[in-house]
Homo-oligomer: A and B are copies of this chain.
Amino acid sequence: MTDISPFQTPSQKQNEREAKRKAVLRAAVRIFNERGFHATLLEDVAVSLGISKPTIYHYLGNKEQVLLQCVLHGLEQLMEAAESAQQAPGRGIDRLRNYLRRYAEINMDDFGRCVIRTGDETLSEEGRSKFRALKGEIDLAMRALIEQAIADGSIAPCDSKLLAFTLAGALNWPARWFSPQGTQSKEEVAEQMVDLLTAGFAPR
């Protein structure tokens, strides 16, 4: 039987650092969502993890940098969902609907909620341009899925830009009202909302 070394390998150190960074990010995003950026104190984030404020600076930087990393993480989740929808086989409408459900679910989750609730004006100039650029990419990805579905005839011809904004708005909004303590799970809410948007409210 070999002894377990008390010294970490470089890859263990790297993993541990990443795990700590993520734990701080998760604690911070919840407090941002609950109180808003201006009323959030990094001190409270630190207390919620039993660590010191300088430890947060060490892993993530100042409050605005912490917020920026929260929204970038949310936008990454949305980009991953868009990319996997792009690569999926099948009819355009099915790929679009799968993406929309996933998009809504992310927006009901901690990091997606933070994306929606963060106004551009909260970020520094540099953060703001990153934030806007990524949101622009996500808009374009939704529009591309819509155009593919129009092209294969599985959705009705329309102004793809306006449809993308309409769908995004409807599915962003749960970030403001969804409560995980409610009677429906985020998956159920996402599915029903996407069905309403697919069929429209006029009888078929």
In the complex the two chains form, is B165's CB within 8 Å of A169's CB?
Answer: no
Does A63 reach chain B (CB closer than 8 Å)? Answer: no
User: How distant is the Cα of A134 from the Cα of B169 in the complex, in angstroms?
Assistant: 21
Interface residues of A in 157-204 (CB under 8 A from B): 158-159, 162-163, 165-174, 177, 189, 192-193, 196-204
Instruction: Name which of A10-18, A33-41, A42-50 contacts chain B.
Output: A33-41
**Which A residues from 115 to 130 make CB contacts under 8 A with B?**
117, 119, 121-122
B166 and A197 contact, CB distance less than 8 A: yes
CB-based contact B162/A173 at 8 Å: no
Residues of B within 8 A of A162 (CB): 189, 192-193, 196
For the complex, is A93 an interface residue (Cβ under 8 Å from B)?
Answer: yes
CA distance A77 to B192 in the complex (A): 30
**Is A140 at the interface (CB under 8 A from chain B)?**
no
Contact residue among B158, B163, B173, B201 (Cβ-Cβ distance under 8 Å from A198): B201
Q: Decide: B196 and A201 in contact? CB cutoff 8 A.
A: no
How far does the alpha carbon of A204 sit from the alpha carbon of B173 in the complex, in Å? 27
A35 neighbours in B (Cβ, 8 Å): 121
Say yes or no: is A155 at the interface (Cβ < 8 Å to chain B). yes
| A168 CB, nearest partner CB in chain B, Å | 7
Contact across chains for B201 and A163 when beta carbons are under 8 A apart: yes
Asked if B196 contacts A158 (CB within 8 A), the reply is yes
A199 in complex: contacting residue of B39, B96, B165, B202, CB < 8 Å: B202
Give A contacts to B, CB under 8 Å. 35-36, 38-39, 93, 96, 117, 119, 121-122, 146, 149, 153-156, 158-159, 162-163, 165-174, 177, 189, 192-193, 196-204
**What would 10 more interface pairs be, CB under 8 Å, given A197-B200, A200-B200, A200-B202?**
A36-B122, A38-B38, A93-B201, A155-B201, A156-B204, A162-B192, A163-B201, A166-B197, A169-B171, A197-B201
Q: Can you list 18 A-B pairs, Cβ within 8 angstroms, ordered by A? A: A36-B119, A38-B38, A96-B201, A149-B201, A156-B202, A156-B204, A162-B193, A163-B201, A165-B173, A165-B174, A166-B173, A166-B197, A169-B171, A169-B172, A169-B174, A170-B197, A197-B200, A200-B201
